[in-house]
Structure 1
Amino acid sequence: MIRLIGAGTRPGRGERVLDTFWTIPNLITILRFFGVPLFVWLIVQDNYGAAFITLVIVGSTDWVDGYLARRLDQVSAAGKWLDPVADRLALIIVATVFVVDRIAPGWFILAIVIPDIILIINSLVLFCGSPNLPVSNIGKIRTALLLVGAPMLLLQKVPGFDYDWLAVAGNTVLILGCIGHLAAFVGYMQASWRKYRNRQVPAAKDAYGA
C-alpha cells in the first residue's frame, strides 16, 4: 500500500505546479465526476453488474490521475483542489446510495458524511474556503480501503456472486476505511487549526507594528 502512495514520482525532481487546468490528470478527474451519476442511475435500475464495473473504474481513477500527474510532470494548482473534491463527492454519494439501497448499514453514511460536514464548516469559518492542506498518507489509505470495500459489498448483489464471505470481507474493509476516515478527519482538523494559528501570528505582529 505504501509503495502505491506517491507512485509515479521521479526521484531527484522537484514538484512543478502548473497553472493550467487542461491536463490529462484533471480530465481523468472530470471523468470521475461523470462516473458518479452514472453509478447512481445504474443502482436505481438494479443493474448491479454494470454499477460494480462503474464503481471500480471510478475508484481506480483516484490512483491513476495522481500517478499520471507525477509521472507526466502535470501536477496543477487546479488538480490539487479538484482531486480531493472529487474524492469527497464520490464517497458521500456512494455511501448515501449504499445505505438507501441497503447494501451497507446505516453507520456507513454517518461515519463518512458527518466528519466531512464538520471539515467543510471548519474550512469555511477559518479560511472562507479550502485550507489547501496536503492529502495525508492516512487519507490516501482511507480512500483506498473505502473504494475497495464498497465494490466488494456491491459485488455480492450481482447474480452468481452472493457469497457470505464477500459480505464479511466487504464490511471488514469498510470498517477499517471508516476508522481511517475518522483518523484522517482528526489529522486534517489539527492541521487546519495549526495553519490558521500560524497565519494569525504575522497578522497580529503587523497590527501592533512589531
Structure 2
Amino acid sequence: MNEVLYTLTIPNLITLFRLILVPLVIWSLMAGHWGMALAGFIIAGMSDAVDGALARLWHQQSAVGAYLDPIADKLLLSSTFIVLGIVGALPVWLVVIVVFRDIGILGGVVLAREMEAPITIRPIFLSKLNTAVQIVLAAAVLAQGAGVIAMPGALTVLMLLCAFLTVSSAAAYALLWFRHMHEAA
C-alpha cells in the first residue's frame, strides 16, 4: 500500500498529465491546429520543469518518476518531430537522425542487458544540450506554424545545429557503450 501512495505523488501526477498531453499535441498538429499544438507543447515543457522541481523540493523522487519522466519527455519530443516531418515542417532526414539516435540508445541498453552486461545511461552534457536544442527547434517550428513568429533563416541554423548535436551525442553514447561492453567482457 505504501508503494502505491508513494507513486501517486504530485510530481508523478504532473508527469502523467504530460503523457496525456502528447496525444493532444499530436492530434492538434495533424488537424492543423498549430496554436493548440504549440500551447500543449509549451504546457508540457513547463510541467517537466515543475514536476522535477517539486520532486526535489518535496523529497518525492521515486523509481516510478525516474522512469516516467524521461519516457514522457521522449514521447513528446519524438512524436512531435515525427509529425512535424509528416506535415513537412521539418525535413525527413532530420527526423530520421533524431529518432534513430533515441532508438539506438534504447537498443544499446536492451542489448547490454541481454548480453548480461547491464548499463545505466546517464545524460551527458552533450545530450542535455542536444535535447535543449531539439526542444527549442520544435517550439520554434510550432510557433512559426501558428503564425507567432517568422524566422526561416534561424530555423535552418537550428536544424543544422540539431543534426550536428544529435549525431555527436549519438557517437558519444556509442563510445560509452563500447567502453562499457569492453570492460564487462
Same-fold call, TM > 0.5? yes
- Return closer, same or farther for 1:41/1:184 CA change in 2, 3 Å cut-off: same
Structure 2 counterparts to residues 70-89 of structure 1, below 5 A: 70-89=56-75
Larger RCO, structures 1/2 (Cα 8 Å, 6+ apart): 2
Which residue matches 1:183?
A: 168
Contact 1:91 1:112 in 2 (8 A): no
Is the aligned partner of 1:158 residue 2:146? Answer: yes
Structure with more of its chain in helix, by fraction: 2
Q: Give CA deviations for 1:104-137 in whole Å, capped at 9, x if unaligned.
A: 1112211111112222222211114983322222
- 1:42 aligns with 28
In 2: Cα distance, 1:80 partner to 1:155 partner: 30
CA distance in 2, matches of 1:153, 1:51: 11
Unmatched runs of 5 consecutive residues or more in structure 1: 1-18, 202-210
- Among 110, 130, 135, the alignment partner of 2:123 is 135
Q: CA RMSD in A?
A: 2.5
Write the distance in 1 (CA, Å) between the matches of 2:54 and 2:167.
28
Indicate conservation of the 8 Å contact 2:30/2:83, yes or no: no
CA contact (8 A) 1:39 1:55 kept: yes
Q: TM-score, structure 1 length as denominator?
A: 0.74
2:93 aligned partner: 107
Q: Distance in 2 between matches of 1:64 and 1:119?
A: 26
User: Which runs of 5 or more residues in structure 2 are unaligned?
Assistant: none
Among the aligned pairs, what percent are the same residue? 28
TM-score, length of structure 2 as denominator length: 0.82
